[in-house]
Structure 1
Amino acid sequence: MLHLQGPGMSQAFHFSPRPNRAHEIHWNAWGPEAFARAQAEDKPILLALSAVWCHWCHVMDETTYSTAAVIGAINDNFVPVRVDNDHRPDVNARYNMGGWPTTAFLMPGGETITGTTYVPPEQMEPLLARVLAFYHERKGEIRERLAAEPAVALAGAPAGAALGAAIVERVMDAVTELYDPAYGGFGTAPKFPMTDALELLLTQWQRTREPRLRTMLEKSLYGMADHGLYDHVEGGWFRYSTDREWRVPHFEKMSEDHAGLLRVNARYARATADVHLRERVASATSWLMSTLYDESSGLFGGSQDADEHYYALSLEERRATAAPYVDRTAYTNWTAALAGALFEVAPLLEDATLTRRALRALDVLWERMCDGHGLLYHVLESGGRPQTRGLLTDQTALLRALLDAHAATGEARMLARAEQLADEIVAVLAAKQGGFYDRVPEDGALGFLAVPDRPLAENAALADSLLRLSALTDRPDLRERGLETLLLFAHGYEKIGAFAAPYALAVMRALTPPATVTIITGPDAAAATSLRAAAATSLRAAATTVRLSDPLLDVRTLDASAQRERVERSGYRAEGPAVAYVCVGATCAAPAHTAHALTAAYAMLTGASAPIP
C-alpha cells in the first residue's frame, strides 16, 4: 500500500497494495489549490473517488491508471483529483456515479460534465479524448448555462405535512416487498445486509410480536450467518453477497457494517435467547476486537481489505499467510456506531470488558476529535491530527452512542455530553427552512459542496436521538426540533422505499408516548446497577419477562447527591435508597426499589403481562 506526497497533495494517497503505476499520475487532493490550477490552466478536472477497501479501485490502479498512454493523457490534459470516500463522505455524496471507483469529469468550478464508475484501460484513453474535446468545444456554452441556472433554494416542510402511522406502514410495506422469502435479506443480487431495514423489522416485531416479522428476521439473520457472507474461520461478516443465496461474498470487512449487524443480531439474540446467533455475535466481536480495535488509541480502524485467496484458506493456512491490509484510520461515525453496538453485545456475552472499551472509545472521541465547542472531526489517521470538521454523520452517530452509553451504564458524563452535542448541532447545522445540513456551511465551498444538502437518513437518525434526549433531559424544545425535522420529509420518504427505514423508526418514536425509566441513585450503587439491568434487559429485550416489551424505552440515571437540583426539578425525591420510576408519557407507576418491582410496575402501567416472581 503506497502512501505518497506529490504535486498539489495535502494528504497521503492510498493505492492498490499490488504492483501498479497509479502514483505516476500527478494526483491532487480536493482543495482550493486543485481548483485554482484547473481555472488557471483551463483544464477539466478528473475526479477519482476510491476507498482503501475497494477491490475494483485496486484493479483500476493496477490496469487503467498503470497504462502509460492514460497516465500521460491525464497529466497533460486534466487536473487529477483523488478523494477517499471514507475520508470525505460529503464529497462522495455529491459526485458518486453509482459505486466505487467513481470516475467523474468536472468543469474547473466543480460542475459535473459526465462520469461513470470503473473504466477498463482500453476504454479510458478514448474517453479522455472525448471529454477533452467536448470541454474545449462546449465550455463557453456550459458556463453560460450554469450562470443562468437559479441557485438551489431549500424548501420547508410541505403544506399539510403530518406524521401518522401510515408512514411506518408504508415503509414496512416497502421492506416487505423487497424481502426475499427464499433466502432472506432484501432484493436479489448483489445483496447487502441493509441493517437499517433489519432494525426496523426488529423494533416492529418487538412491539407487535407479529410472527411473520420474526420469520423475516430469522431468515435474514441466519442467511447471513450460515453461508458465505460470514467468515467461518476468523469471524465477522463480509460487505455484501454477489449472489442471491449469500454464498459468494465481496470480501471486504467494514466497521460500518459490523456496527449495524452486531447491534441487530445482539438485540435479537437477547430477545429470543438464540444460542446460534449469540455464537455468531461472539465470533464477530472476537474478530473486531483483535483486528480493528486499537488498544493503544482506544479507537476502531475502518476496514480490512478483500482478498479472496486468503479467505479461502483454512485457519492453519491463514496463520502462515499475511492477513489482508487493515485500514487503521479511525472514523468518528463508525467508531461511535461500534461503541453503541457494543452496549448491546456486552450483556449478551456477559463481558464487562466490552462495556469498558466502548466507554473508552467514546471518551477518546470526545477528548481527541472534538473541536472545543462540541462538534466532532471526522477522521484521524495514525500519528496525525483530526481532519474534516462538522459532518452531520459524525455528530449523529456520536449522539446516539452517548445516549446508548448512558442507558447501559448510568454514566452522567455521557448524558451531559449528549446534551452539549445536541445544542451545538442545533446551533451550527440547523437549516432555517428546517432539518439539518450534512456539513457545516462555509463561504467559498468548492464545487457542489456549495450546494446545501439535508440527507434523509442522517436527519431521521438525528431526530430520533433528539426525541430520546428530550425525554431524558425534560427539554421539550429538543422534541419540537425533532418533530419539525421529521415533518420536512413527510411527503418525500416514499421515493426511497425500504431505505427510508431510519425515517420510519424515528416516526414510530414520535408517535409513541415517551417511555422512560428514571433511576435515582442512593448510597447503594449495587441497587442502582440491578435496577438499570432490569430496565435494559427485562423491559427492552426479553420476550419472556414482559409480554409486550418496549424497544423504544430509554433509561436515565440521576445521582441524588451530584445532581440534586435536576432530580428535584424533575419531580423526584433526592433522599433515600436507590429507586426507579417508570413513566409512559405523563403517567408514572409507583416507585420501585427492586428489579422485580420495576418490571411489575411497568406491566401494571402498560397493561402487559405481569412478570413471574
Structure 2
Amino acid sequence: MHEKKKENVPEWQHFDAAIFNKAKKEHKLVLLHLGANWCHWCHVMEEQTYTDPFVLELLNKSYIACKEDHDERQDLTSLYAAYGWPATIVFDADGNELLKEAGFISSDRFIALLKKLVKNPTPMPTDSVQIEPAVASDSSTQQALNTLKKKFYSSLDIEGGGFNYAQKYIDFETFEYAFNHSENDSILTKWLYNSVVNSAGLNDNVWGGVFQYSTHSDWNHLHYEKLLSIQARYIKMYCWYYKRFNDADALSHAESAAKYVQRFLDDPKGGFYNSQDADVTPGEKATEYFKLNNADRIKKGIPAIDKNSYTSDNAEMIEACIILSAATGNNTYLEKAVRCFDFIKKNNKTNNAYAHGSNYTNSISLKDNIAIVKSALLLYRATQDAAYKSEALRIIQEVAGTFYSKKGYMISFIGNSPIKGSYNITENIEACRLLNYCSHVFNEPKYKILAQTIFGFLTNENLVKTMSTEPGILSAYEELNTEPLKAVLMIKNGTELKTDFLNSSLSFPAFYFDNTIYTSTTIPSDKYELFDSFDKNFIVACTASYCSSPMFSKDGFEKFIYRRAFSTK
C-alpha cells in the first residue's frame, strides 16, 4: 500500500458547464467523483484513495478532478444512480464517457485505471437504448407486459422478503404492485408479509428511523445512513399495510420513523433536512456505535446531518405526513405537511417550476416537479384548498410542455448542465402514471395521450430487455385502461362525516384514487339530483358514468372502497 499524505487532496473543481472547455484548453480528461454526505464508502475513498500521492500525481498531470454531491445534483443523479455511491465517471474533453465505475476503488486499482484511460481514451458505447417513437401493436405490448411480469416475480425473495439480490430493502413500486395484487395471489401475500416483518431489521430501535438497506442477502448487515426519502417511503408503506391488514406493528414502525424525522431531520424553518451520515467519524464503520443506547451515543457524538432541503425528498415526506396524519388521526402531521410545502415553494420554486434545491439552480429536474405535483394534489385532497390544485395544474402543464423530448420519453432535466439530458426509466414511469392521473383530475385528454406515448416508449422490446424489474409499468398499464375511483362527501348540514371521510380517503392505500367534498355552492350540475335526494350528509363513490349507493358511515364507506379495490385485481 502506498504511503498516504492525508493533508493532500485533489484540487476539486465543480462539474459545471465550463468544465469541458477548460479540459480542452489544458488537454486533460475530466474525472467526476459523485458521492454523498452520508455515504460511508464515499468517505473511505476520499480518505484513502484520493489522498494517495501517486493518485494525486496522476490527477494533477492528466485530469481535471471534479467532486459533486449527488443529493444536490439531481441532473447527475438521474443519469448515474446505477453507478453509485460513490460513482466515478471519466470523460474526454468533448464530454464523451470513457469510464463509469460503481463503488469504492482502491488506490492500486484506481492508478491502473487512470493510466489506462490516459493511454487509450476510447469513448464507451452508449448504454441508452435509442428508440424512435412508434405505435406499438397490442401483441408487442402484451409481450412486453408478460416479460415484465416474469421479471417482477423472479426478482422477489418470497421467503426472506425484499429482492433476491445482495441488498435487502423494500422498493415502493414493487411493494405497491404486490400490495394491489395479493388478494388472490398467495405468493404475493407471503412476500408482502415477509418483507414488512423482516424490514423491521432496518429500523433503529434506539432513535427510530429506517436505515437505507442491508447487504449479504439478509436484513442484518446494515448501511447506517438515514435518508429523508427512505423515511418517507417506509412511513407510506407501513401505513398502507396497517390500513389494509390492521397490523399494529406496521403503524408503530411508521410512527417511529416519523419521530426520528421530527428529532433529527425537522427544519424549524418549515422543511426537512436531507439525511444523516452513516458514520460518526467519516470513513470508520459505525457498527458498534449503533449498538449503543441513546445516552452512550450522545457521548460519542451524533452522525452529521445534511441540512439541505431538496424538493423531491421534501415532497415525498409531505405525502408521508398526510397519509400518517390520516392513518393515526394526528393532525400535527398534516400541519407539518402544509408548512413544508410553503417552505419548498418559497425557497425552491424558480419561475414556472421547482429547482431541486436553493443552492444549485442551473438545471431543473423532472423528478422534483413530478413529486411536487403529487404532493400538491394530496394536499388539495386533505385540505380542499383549491390553491394546491391550481399549483399542481401549473406544474403539470410545465412538465408536459417542457420536459417532453418529442422522442417518446421525458427528459430527466433541462437547463445549463455540462451533460445532455436523457431519459431515466423510473422517472418516465412516474411521469406516465401522473400524467394519466392528471388527465382525470383536470379533465384534460392531452395528458392521457402523452401518458400513452410514454407508455409506448417504456414497453419497447429493446428497452424492456435492459430492465431488471419495473412493476410500475405494469401498474401504469392498468391505470391507463381504467379511471380512478372518486369518493365524494355531500355536505348538507354541518360537518358530520367530514373528518372520518378525509381520514379514510387519505389513508386509503392507493395512488389511483381521488376524493372531494361538495356543498350546495360547489356541487356540479350533473350531481344536483343526487345531492337533493337526502337530508343528511352522505358519501358516494363515483366514476365518470356511475355513482354508488349512498353511504352514511365511515365503516360502510371503508368496506365499500376496500372491497372494490382489492377483490377485483
TM range (shorter): 0.7 to 0.9
Picking from 433, 441, 447, the partner of 1:478 is 447
Q: Does 1:203 align with 2:194?
A: no
Hey, what does 2:524 align to over in structure 1?
568
Q: Please give the secondary structure, in 2, of the residue aligned with 1:516.
A: strand
Q: Which among 493, 501, 505 is matched to residue 531 of structure 1?
A: 501
Q: Deviations over 1:12-43 (max 9, x none)?
A: xxxxxxx9446x31111011332221111111
* 1:220 and 2:178 aligned: no
Aligned length: 552
Q: Per the alignment, do residues 263 and 290 of structure 1 end up closer, same or farther by CA in structure 2, a change over 3 Å counting? A: same
SS of structure 2 residue aligned to 1:113:
strand
Q: Return the letter of the residue paired with 1:43.
A: K
Distance in structure 1 (CA, Å) of the matches to 2:360 and 2:525: 39
Quote the residue 2:282 is aligned against: none
CA drift of 1:153 comes to 6.5
Matched, 1:409 2:383: yes
Local SS of the residue matching 2:541: strand
What amino acid is aligned across from residue 99 of structure 2 in structure 1? Answer: T
What is the distance in 2 between the residues matched to 1:47 and 1:160?
42
The higher-RCO structure (CA 8 Å, 6+ apart) is: 2
- The aligned counterpart of 1:298 is 271
Q: Distance in 1 between matches of 2:24 and 2:151?
A: 46
Per the alignment, in what secondary structure is the counterpart of residue 379 of structure 1?
coil
Give the counterpart of 2:434 among 455, 459, 465: 465
Shift of the alpha carbon at 1:440?
Answer: 1.8
Give the deviation of 1:197 after TM superposition.
0.8
- Give a deviation string over 1:59-111, Cα, whole Å, max 9, x none: 11111111223223312321111122112232244456732222222111211
Q: Note the C-alpha offset of 1:363.
A: 2.2
- Contact 1:168–1:508 (Cα < 8 Å) also in 2: no
**Conserved in 2, the CA contact under 8 Å of 1:49 and 1:96?**
no
Tell me, yes or no, if structure 1 residue 246 matches structure 2 residue 219.
yes
Indicate how the Cα distance of structure 1 residues 496 and 234 shifts in structure 2: closer, same or farther if over 3 A, else same.
Answer: farther
Identity percentage over the alignment?
20
Partner amino acid for 2:217? R
Q: Which secondary structure state, in structure 2, belongs to the residue aligned with residue 378 of structure 1? A: coil
Q: Does structure 2 retain, via aligned residues, the 8 Å contact 1:520–1:528? A: no
2:161 pairs with one of 184, 191, 197: 184
The alpha-carbon deviation at position 372 of structure 1 amounts to: 2.7
- Partners of 1:604 and 1:50 lie apart in 2 by 46
Pairing of 1:64-83 with structure 2 (within 5 A): 64-83=49-68
Structure 1 unmatched runs, 5+:
1-18, 542-549
Separation (CA, whole Å) in 1 of partners of 2:342 and 2:394: 14
Please, which moves more after superposition, 486-495 or 191-200?
486-495
2:29–2:63 contact (8 Å) kept in structure 1: yes
The 1:245/1:114 distance shift into structure 2, 3 A limit, reads closer
Aligned partner of residue 105 in structure 1, secondary structure: strand
Correspondence list, 1:177-576, <5 A: 177-205=154-182, 208-225=183-200, 227=201, 229-306=202-279, 307-373=286-352, 375-380=353-358, 385=359, 387-440=361-414, 446=418, 449-450=419-420, 452-492=421-461, 494-495=464-465, 497=467, 499-519=469-489, 524-536=494-506, 540-541=508-509, 552-557=512-517, 561=521, 564=522, 567-568=523-524, 571-572=527-528
Shift of 1:568: 3.0
Task: Kindly indicate whether the alpha-carbon contact (under 8 Å) linking 1:402 and 1:417 is maintained by their aligned counterparts in 2.
Answer: yes
| Residue 108 (structure 2) aligns with | 122
Gaps of 5+ in 2: 280-285
Map of 1:54-73 to 2, 5 A cutoff?
Answer: 54-73=39-58
Superposed CA deviations along residues 185-221 of structure 1, whole A, max 9, x for unmatched, are 111413333232112111223xx35333221101011
For the pair 1:43 / 2:34, whether they are aligned, the reply is: no
Residue aligning to 1:586: 545
- Once residues 423 and 323 of structure 1 are traced to their aligned partners in structure 2, the CA distance between those partners, rounded to angstroms, is 43
Distance 1:441 1:28, change over 3 A: closer
What is the rounded CA distance, in whole Å, between the counterparts of 1:406 and 1:303 in structure 2?
Answer: 31
**Which residue number corresponds to residue 102 of structure 1?**
87
Query: What is the CA–CA distance in structure 2 between the aligned matches of 1:32 and 1:497, rounded to whole Å?
Result: 31
- 1:120 Cα deviation after fit: 1.3
Residue 169 of structure 1, CA deviation: 5.8
Cα distance in 1 between the residues matched to 2:140 and 2:396: 23
Q: RMSD in angstroms over aligned alpha carbons?
A: 3.3
Task: Output the TM-score relative to the length of structure 2.
Answer: 0.87
Q: What secondary structure sits across from 1:281 in the alignment? A: helix
Which secondary structure state, in structure 2, belongs to the residue aligned with residue 487 of structure 1? Answer: helix
> CA 1:505 to 1:304, structure 2 compared with 1: closer, same or farther past 3 Å?
farther
Q: Secondary structure at the match of 1:499?
A: coil
Distance in 1 (alpha carbons) for counterparts of 2:399 and 2:562? 37
Distance change >3 Å, CA 221–CA 112, structure 1 → 2: same
The letter for the 2-side match of 1:189 is A
Measured after TM superposition, the shift of residue 287 of structure 1 is 0.7
- TM-score of the superposition, structure 1-length normalised? 0.81
